[in-house]
């Protein structure tokens, strides 16, 4: 699928001030970045603009600050960019205002500057026109490379795009191409794996993908709503009671496509030192909860995955953060890594899982956008992309 938007390849940025919206919303522990994939993902666009002799002005949010919140400063990102680019990337004191304007005016072609967290201003999330105009005034051209926030109509993602010539960066281009294959023309058999806790969070995605897939493998907390819809005892397992009827309807209408677990890993507690046992799905005791798919299910899922032409994974199939409930999600990741087909990991927790297991490099594409990937795969229009110049 092509983007149908003007991209950075159609931009001559020489001598121009280019505002680039990146997604540097990276996980931090005690001020240290624990996963810099999103920063790495922005490098091709940044390097291209440096080579062209632009003044590169990077903007991003980090976390959900309430006003100016020091722990959500982009200082660790500026330090990491300085390392990765091999050149000084100063963090400006704000994202708008006289000091910022002065620093940009003094910058030379090829310089890279990072604006402080745009969400320190509440106007950002309100897509306030005056705030968008202040951001736009810093630059001659806008490049959106923040796929992870493209589903949000904020001042720095959507508002600015109406005020400056607006292009897509390489990361957005790559995301749309890879995710677009799944939506438009997947190699067959096309297998989708759905995990996560609640069915209701995935209804739009399931409805959009079910007509297209050959098999839909269901795991994670969603499993137990489907089992309940079949009248089975699920003990203390997570239940999305509002979606029982929906699950039952899917099982009636698409029994040939939906593959449910046949065994699960159960425990009476949700902890690293939990004692576990494996039971068939129709033998879950009333005082236990299911927290992972079992080995029989893992093997069955792996067989289906390895013979697929396209695999899309959205949501872990167990509580992979805890060792006793990690095996199912690892088995899915390993089967995808061994597959000869196109393997797409739809961001969020699935992306964290393949990273944890050291298998991200073995996937065709690991999306950087959790909510954005989900909305794109649901068939929704992403405002941050819609606002860019048409090709």
Residues known to be catalytic:
38, 198, 348, 371
Is the omega angle on the peptide bond into residue 103 within 30 degrees of 0, that is, cis? Answer: no
For residues 319 and 220, give the distance between their C-alpha atoms in angstroms, rounded to a whole number.
7
DSSP letter for each residue of 267-334? ESS-STT--EEEEEGGG--TT-EEEEE-HHHHHHHHHHHHT-SEEEEES-SS-TTSGGG-HHHHHHHH
Look-up of token digits 């796929």: 147
Supply 267's token pair.
């425990």
For residues 203 and 244, give the distance between their C-alpha atoms in angstroms, rounded to a whole number.
12
Helix (H, G, I), strand (E, B) or coil at 142: strand
DSSP letter for each residue of 204-228? HHHHHHTTT-SEEEE-TTHHHHHHH
Supply 9's token pair.
């390849």
Q: What order do you get walking across the sheet with 112-114 strand by strand?
A: 112-114, 55-59, 17-21, 141-144, 166-168
Q: What is the chain's alpha carbon radius of gyration, rounded to the nearest angstrom?
A: 23
β-bridge mates for residue 293, sequence order? 264
Phi, psi of 107 (to 5 degrees): -70, 150
Say if CB 300 and CB 334 are below 8 A apart: no
Look-up of token digits 């058999």: 189
Supply 108's token pair.
């030379």
Say if CB 202 and CB 247 are below 8 A apart: no
């Amino acid at each position: 699928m092509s983007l149908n938007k003007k991209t950075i390849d159609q931009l001559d940025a020489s001598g121009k001030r280019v505002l680039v919206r990146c997604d540097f919303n990276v996980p931090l522990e005690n001020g240290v970045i624990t996963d810099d994939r999103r920063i790495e993902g922005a490098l091709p666009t940044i390097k291209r603009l440096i080579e062209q002799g632009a003044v590169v002005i990077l903007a991003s949010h980090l976390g959900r600050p309430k006003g100016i919140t020091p722990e959500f400063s982009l200082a660790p990102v500026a330090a990491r960019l300085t390392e990765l680019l091999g050149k000084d990337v100063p963090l400006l004191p704000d994202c708008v205002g006289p000091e910022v304007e002065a620093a940009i005016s003094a910058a030379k072609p090829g310089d890279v500057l990072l604006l402080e967290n745009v969400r320190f201003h509440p106007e950002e999330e309100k897509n306030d026109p005056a705030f968008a105009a202040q951001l736009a005034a810093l630059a001659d051209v806008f490049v959106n490379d923040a796929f992870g926030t493209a589903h949000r109509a904020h001042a720095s993602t959507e508002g600015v795009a109406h005020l400056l010539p607006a292009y897509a960066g390489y990361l957005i281009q790559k995301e749309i191409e890879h995710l677009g294959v799944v939506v438009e023309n997947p190699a067959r058999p096309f297998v989708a794996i759905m995990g996560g806790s609640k069915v209701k969070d995935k209804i739009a995605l399931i409805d959009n993908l079910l007509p297209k897939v050959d098999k839909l493998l269901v795991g994670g907390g969603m499993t137990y709503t489907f089992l309940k819809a079949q009248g089975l005892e699920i003990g203390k397992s997570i239940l999305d009671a509002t979606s029982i009827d929906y699950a039952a309807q899917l099982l009636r209408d698409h029994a040939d496509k939906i593959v449910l677990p046949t065994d699960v890993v159960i425990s009476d507690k949700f902890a690293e030192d939990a004692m576990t046992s494996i039971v068939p799905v129709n033998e879950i005791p009333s005082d236990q909860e299911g927290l992972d798919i079992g080995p029989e299910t893992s093997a069955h899922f792996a067989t289906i995955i390895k013979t697929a032409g396209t695999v899309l994974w959205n949501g872990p199939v167990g509580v992979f953060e805890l060792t006793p409930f990690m095996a199912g999600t690892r088995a899915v990741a390993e089967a995808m890594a061994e597959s000869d087909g196109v393997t797409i990991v739809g961001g969020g927790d699935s992306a964290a899982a393949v990273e944890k297991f050291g298998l991200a490099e073995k996937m065709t594409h690991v999306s950087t956008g959790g909510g954005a990937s989900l909305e794109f795969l649901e068939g929704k229009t992403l405002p941050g992309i819609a606002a860019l110049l048409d090709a």
